[in-house]
Each structure stands twice: as C-alpha cells, then as structure tokens.
Chain A
C-alpha cells in the first residue's frame, strides 16, 4: 500500500492584476456586500487561464487551477515549467506563505521550505548569530541548532569567519552558510526552490549530494523546483510539468523531461515549402534519444532530410550538413554527393537519413546547418540553420565536480593508462 505523505486536492489560486488603488476598495466593498447576503464571492466566477503573453479581458487570473497530486513518503518530486507557469505559487502555498483560493493540501509531516537561501539573514550580526536566527526562522529550536552547530559550521566551510558580521562575507560565503543551516533541518517534507542556481560548481555538487543523502539515506520527502533538467533527472524520481497554472503531466522523470522538451517552442522539426525550378530542402527532422529536443550524450541521433527536386534525373547534387554549437561554431560535418552514390534523382520528394550511432556531443544546445548545391556549376541553392536540440548528460556517471557548462564540445570515450 502506498504511503501518501502529502496530498493536494483541487488547489487553485486567483490573483488580481493591475494596481491596488481606489478600484480595490470598490471590489472589496462589493465582495463584502455579497458575503453578508450569503452569496458566493462574485469575482471567483471570472478569471482567466494564466497566459502571460496574451492580453486578457478580465482583471483576475488563475495562477493555479485544479492542481491535484500525491507524494509518497521518501519520494523526490520534481516540478518543472516555464517562467510564470505557477511553480512558485505552488511552492508558496505548500510552504504556507500564502493560502490557496480554493482547495486544500493535506499533510502528514512537518514541511520546511527553502524558497530562498538566507531568509532573514542580518548583515550586522555574526555568522554564528545568523545560524541561530535563520535556523529558528526555518522552524528549528535553539536546542536543535546548538546540537548541530559544529556540523553546520563545518559544512559551510566558513569556520574562520564565523564570528565576523555577515555583511563582510562574500556573496558565495553567505550562500554557503545559509545552505548549511537549511541542510541540517529535519522536517519530514522539504520544499526547495531553485536555490541551487547560486554558488560555485563545487558547492552545487555538495548541495545536490546533500539532497540525495536527505532522500536516500534519511528517507525524507523532497519537492524540488528547478529549470536545470539535469539536476531534476539526477534527483527526482517523478516529475510534474506545470503550464499556465495547470498540471499537464505527472510522470516518471525521464518521461516527463521528454514531454517537457517537446513542448518547447524551438522545434526539432523544420518544414518549408519547396522552391520552384530549383532543388530545395523541404524538411529537416532531428530524432533525439529522449524525444523532443532533448538528446542524451552517447546515444544514437538520427537526422532526416527531405529534398524536393524540380525534375527527374537531376545530376551532380551536393548535400552536406553541419552541427553547430550555441556560439555558431561548427562541431561536426558530413556530406553526400551525387558522384558515387545517386541522390536526388526523383522528381519531388527525395529522402535522406543520417545516423550517429553514439553521438558524443557534450551538454549544450546545438543546431543543424544544411547546405544544398550543385558540384558542376558550383551553384549554391540553399544554406540555412534549423532544428535546435539540447544534449544532456543523462545516465552518465557524474564527475566529482559535476557537469559544468562549456568545458568542451565533444566528449568521447577513451582510456587512461598510468605509466
């Protein structure tokens, strides 16, 4: 039987847009007038789905709508979604900072939330004093903090500065100290917003490691929001996707990530109308290992091309493509010419496929550039960039310092020998 520690039922949250001014007073009075007559709040009926980009007609929006989910004891639940999807609102409700408009969350354990590191830190006070203050704000008693003080100081690595006012700390040190306090909290449920986005790589590694310990060894439940898909994929067992205030998927993490990446506006498929009288590339599709635009390092990547030919038996066609990184630097290149092999001899659609059996691109964003030309007259028909895709180090053993961005473009297997 499943041991449900937290259950959210029909959580919805309405916000009023615009400024608070004299109009607010009018609405307040109106709401109060409905209330004393025993009627329902008139403004709950209106309200629109929270889509930031379109102009709405109503002053009220639903930041969250009908959120239902359950979390099992010891589970790590990831929450992903674009900016404004309602992630932070959900976390705020979970951490009791704000109340839902409708619905309820039932809970079987203490919730501690970490929406920000160092909440309530006071620059004038020393590191030690701040450990006590911050710990107490997060719900620890003085006794609990005292018993863990040495561990906290050691974990933070700020021992030397512990009796110096925090305003003299570097920002990195403040974050370390603050995270150290939070890491030694002992609630049954821990709610974490993107606090890991701060600090250096070594510290992030330490923080992720600590979170793994909390869930694996200590069996505590974590709800974790992040934009960093690789952090989600290493930590979370199940992931919720929020979009416009609604849950659109509640799946096992890898599946959720692939659904999420297919939602992205930058598509892995490129289609265009054929040109008249000249050859043209009409479709390019990148088939990634994880679906959508997300590709796992070391797995097979297939690229499909569709070339439209104006007439039959066209000769000397030359086709090539490059894979370029986010800085537009070409990393890989391959070609096929109509010399030894015959390509593009049919009128209309011609199909080509290229497969990298284990594409070892390093994590980052990549695009395809295609070139279509004729070898004899050296005419270039087309050259364009398309199909953004993202490589992540999914399922790879992480190095000690974590996967850092832009350390390389290509990561192939090889062997070390110590002589």
Chain B
C-alpha cells in the first residue's frame, strides 16, 4: 500500500448525509459475529434451567391444547378431517416464528444500547442474528410437529402430504423477513418515541386474531362477510393459511394472495432496512 499518498484514505467518517448506505462487504466480514450472536441467543436461554431446550416445545404444545379446547371443542370450529390439535399446532408454530422475530428485533436498539454505545459493528447483524436464532427454535418446534403428525397418522387420521410442501422454506422465509422488516421499523422508531413499545405488546396479540391462526380463512368469510376483508388484506393470514395447505393439505392456496404477500413482505423489508439504516448512525444520541 502506498501510504505516502495522502489521498489514499481507507475510509472516511462523515455526518449521516447519504440516503441509504449498506456495506455488504462489511457485513460479510462480521459473519463470525453473526453466528456467535446466534449461538449466544440459543444457549443462554436454557442455561441454568432444568428443562433446557424443552421450553421451546412446552409453549406451543400448551397453546395448541388450549386452542383445541376453546376454539374447537367449545366454540366448535371445524377443521375437516384434520385433527384440530395438529391444525392449531401448525398455525401456532408459524405464527410464533413471526412474533418471535418481531418482538426480538423490535427492541434491537434499546436492549443493545450499552453495546452499541461502545463499539462499532454493522448494526444489522443484531436483528439478523435474532431472525436466524428464531429459525433454529422454529426448527425444533417443527420437529415436534412432525412427531405429532406421524403419531396421528399411525392412529388412523386422514393425513396426506401436498407436493407444494417443497415451497415451505420459502413461505417461512416470508414470515421471517416480514417480522424482521416490521421489527426494524419499530426498533428505529422506538429509539425516539417509546410509545410504540406499549403498542406492540397488545398489538401483536390482536393481530393474531385476524391472521387466521386458529380458524380456516374460509370460515371468516363465511361467518363475517362484512369484516372478512380485514383477514383477506392481511399478508400474515395468507402465509398461515398456505402453510396449513402445504403441511396438512387443508384449506386453499391463492397464488394472487401469495403474490400480494410477497410484494408486501419485500416492501416492508426494504422500508425497514432504510429506516434502520438511517437510525443506526444517530440513535446513540437519542436512545
């Protein structure tokens, strides 16, 4: 390197005046940090617990049981030939991945303020690590789903695979990206206006009811024709409905709906990335 040349600067620290700057080369350089963050997220959760990683399974199982009792047995929602428990488990599993990504990434700046205030690394690493570590948790939950699937199959339930299951990973990545995008947006805004924090807690809960988690999408159109559009315009509902179609061969698949979901997902993701990118340079002064 010709260091004598005074114009030969390696990099420059300047005010945040660029509209968008994302240094992919730099993110790639920090890939080890990404993996270490993932490892940290996974192992610290079950350190000093008796049940360890089993906790990842207990929550969806008990939620599924509760849903089955309340929505299927008490309220009488029909799931066709599919055992209601499996129906609920499938929906909850996918829904959980979304909420885990959203909740995890939405306080990126606030919960990492002490690290961000002391050391520089591409901030995007943190929300990315959350999405990846949640994917691993999702994998564990998917394992228990397969276990019950086989169990129900051998007990004579009418289950059949759908060839579209090959696209299931893409569907899950939609869920992850949507959670990441929304989370990044919220995390950026929370740095300045903490009000949003209060909104997320119950907002996510309400969102579940319009995302076709515990009922088939058809049902809401049939029973509440006036408000069916709320579910129909919710991209999350399509992902959940489609994932049940892929896994359990139940419900419908709508190419148009999926296209709509894909467009919304990518838009949300890029807007989130943009807002996040703008915030990461100045947030330490406002948080």
- Kindly identify which residue among A92, A108, A113, A125 contacts B3, using a CB–CB cutoff of 8 Å: A108
Whether B36 pairs with A115 at a CB distance below 8 angstroms is no
Residues of A within 8 A of B40 (CB): 122, 125, 129, 133
A106 contacts B by Cβ under 8 Å: yes
Whether B120 pairs with A97 at a CB distance below 8 angstroms is yes
Whether A20 pairs with B286 at a CB distance below 8 angstroms is yes
Whether A4 pairs with B117 at a CB distance below 8 angstroms is no
How many residues of A sit at the interface, in one of the four size bands? 35 or more
A24 contacts B by Cβ under 8 Å: yes
Whether A107 pairs with B6 at a CB distance below 8 angstroms is no
- Kindly identify which residue among A5, A99, A124, A137 contacts B13, using a CB–CB cutoff of 8 Å: A99
Whether B284 pairs with A106 at a CB distance below 8 angstroms is no
Residues of B within 8 A of A113 (CB): 118-120
Whether B33 pairs with A107 at a CB distance below 8 angstroms is no
Whether A99 pairs with B48 at a CB distance below 8 angstroms is no
Whether B15 pairs with A102 at a CB distance below 8 angstroms is yes
- Kindly identify which residue among B12, B47, B114, B281 contacts A98, using a CB–CB cutoff of 8 Å: B281
A94 contacts B by Cβ under 8 Å: yes
| CB-CB under 8 A for A3 and B4, given A15-B285, A107-B11, A108-B10 | yes
B154 contacts A by Cβ under 8 Å: no
A1 contacts B by Cβ under 8 Å: yes
Whether A94 pairs with B13 at a CB distance below 8 angstroms is yes
Nearest-Cβ distance from residue B285 to partner chain A, whole angstroms: 6
Complex formed: what's the CA distance from A112 to B286 in Å?
Answer: 24
Tally of contact residues, B, Cβ under 8 A: 40
Complex formed: what's the CA distance from A348 to B223 in Å?
Answer: 108
Complex formed: what's the CA distance from A129 to B44 in Å?
Answer: 11
Whether A24 pairs with B192 at a CB distance below 8 angstroms is yes
Chain A residue nearest in CB terms to B46: A124
- Mask of A110-149 contacts with B, CB within 8 angstroms, 1/0: 1001011001101011000100110011111110000000
Residues of A within 8 A of B33 (CB): 136-137
Complex formed: what's the CA distance from A102 to B35 in Å?
Answer: 35
Whether B118 pairs with A119 at a CB distance below 8 angstroms is yes
Whether B120 pairs with A96 at a CB distance below 8 angstroms is yes
A100 contacts B by Cβ under 8 Å: yes
B222 contacts A by Cβ under 8 Å: no
Which residues between 86 and 116 of chain B lie within 8 Å of chain A, taking CB atoms? 114-116
Complex formed: what's the CA distance from A357 to B115 in Å?
Answer: 52
Nearest-Cβ distance from residue A40 to partner chain B, whole angstroms: 12
A104 contacts B by Cβ under 8 Å: yes
Whether B15 pairs with A103 at a CB distance below 8 angstroms is yes
Complex formed: what's the CA distance from A140 to B33 in Å?
Answer: 9
B163 contacts A by Cβ under 8 Å: no
Whether A124 pairs with B192 at a CB distance below 8 angstroms is no
Whether A137 pairs with B10 at a CB distance below 8 angstroms is no
B16 contacts A by Cβ under 8 Å: yes
Whether A104 pairs with B13 at a CB distance below 8 angstroms is yes
Complex formed: what's the CA distance from A105 to B4 in Å?
Answer: 18
- Kindly identify which residue among A99, A119, A129 contacts B15, using a CB–CB cutoff of 8 Å: A99
Whether B119 pairs with A1 at a CB distance below 8 angstroms is no
Nearest-Cβ distance from residue B273 to partner chain A, whole angstroms: 18
Whether B3 pairs with A73 at a CB distance below 8 angstroms is yes
Whether B119 pairs with A97 at a CB distance below 8 angstroms is yes
Residues of B within 8 A of A98 (CB): 281-282, 284-285
- Mask of B26-51 contacts with A, CB within 8 angstroms, 1/0: 00011011011101100110011000
Chain B residue nearest in CB terms to A102: B15
Complex formed: what's the CA distance from A151 to B9 in Å?
Answer: 32
Nearest-Cβ distance from residue A118 to partner chain B, whole angstroms: 10
A173 contacts B by Cβ under 8 Å: no
Complex formed: what's the CA distance from A125 to B11 in Å?
Answer: 35
Complex formed: what's the CA distance from A136 to B34 in Å?
Answer: 9
A165 contacts B by Cβ under 8 Å: yes
Whether B14 pairs with A137 at a CB distance below 8 angstroms is no
Residues of A within 8 A of B48 (CB): 124
Complex formed: what's the CA distance from A24 to B191 in Å?
Answer: 12
Whether A95 pairs with B119 at a CB distance below 8 angstroms is yes
- Mask of B108-137 contacts with A, CB within 8 angstroms, 1/0: 000000111111110000000000000000
Chain B residue nearest in CB terms to A96: B120
Residues of B within 8 A of A116 (CB): 118
Nearest-Cβ distance from residue B272 to partner chain A, whole angstroms: 19
Chain B residue nearest in CB terms to A104: B14
Whether A138 pairs with B119 at a CB distance below 8 angstroms is yes
Complex formed: what's the CA distance from A136 to B36 in Å?
Answer: 8
Complex formed: what's the CA distance from A93 to B281 in Å?
Answer: 10
Nearest-Cβ distance from residue A219 to partner chain B, whole angstroms: 12
- Kindly identify which residue among A93, A115, A124, A140 contacts B118, using a CB–CB cutoff of 8 Å: A115
Whether A137 pairs with B121 at a CB distance below 8 angstroms is yes
Whether B10 pairs with A120 at a CB distance below 8 angstroms is no
Residues of B within 8 A of A140 (CB): 32
Whether B44 pairs with A125 at a CB distance below 8 angstroms is yes
A209 contacts B by Cβ under 8 Å: no
Whether A92 pairs with B284 at a CB distance below 8 angstroms is yes
A101 contacts B by Cβ under 8 Å: yes
- Mask of B132-167 contacts with A, CB within 8 angstroms, 1/0: 000000000000000000000000000000000000
Residue contacts A-B, CB under 8 angstroms, 28 given? A15-B285, A25-B193, A93-B13, A95-B118, A95-B119, A97-B116, A97-B118, A97-B120, A98-B284, A99-B15, A101-B15, A104-B14, A105-B12, A106-B11, A110-B10, A115-B119, A119-B119, A120-B115, A122-B40, A125-B44, A136-B33, A136-B36, A137-B119, A138-B119, A139-B121, A140-B32, A141-B32, A165-B47
Report, nearest first, the 3 A-B pairs whose CB atoms are least far apart: A96-B120, A136-B33, A105-B13
B residues apposed to A, CB below 8 Å: 3-4, 6, 8-16, 29-30, 32-33, 35-37, 39-40, 43-44, 47-48, 114-121, 192-193, 281-282, 284-286
Not counting A97-B116, A106-B12, A139-B121, a sample of 16 additional A-B residue pairs whose C-beta atoms are within 8 angstroms of each other reads A20-B192, A24-B192, A73-B3, A92-B117, A95-B119, A97-B284, A99-B14, A99-B281, A103-B15, A104-B14, A107-B11, A107-B12, A108-B3, A124-B44, A141-B29, A142-B36
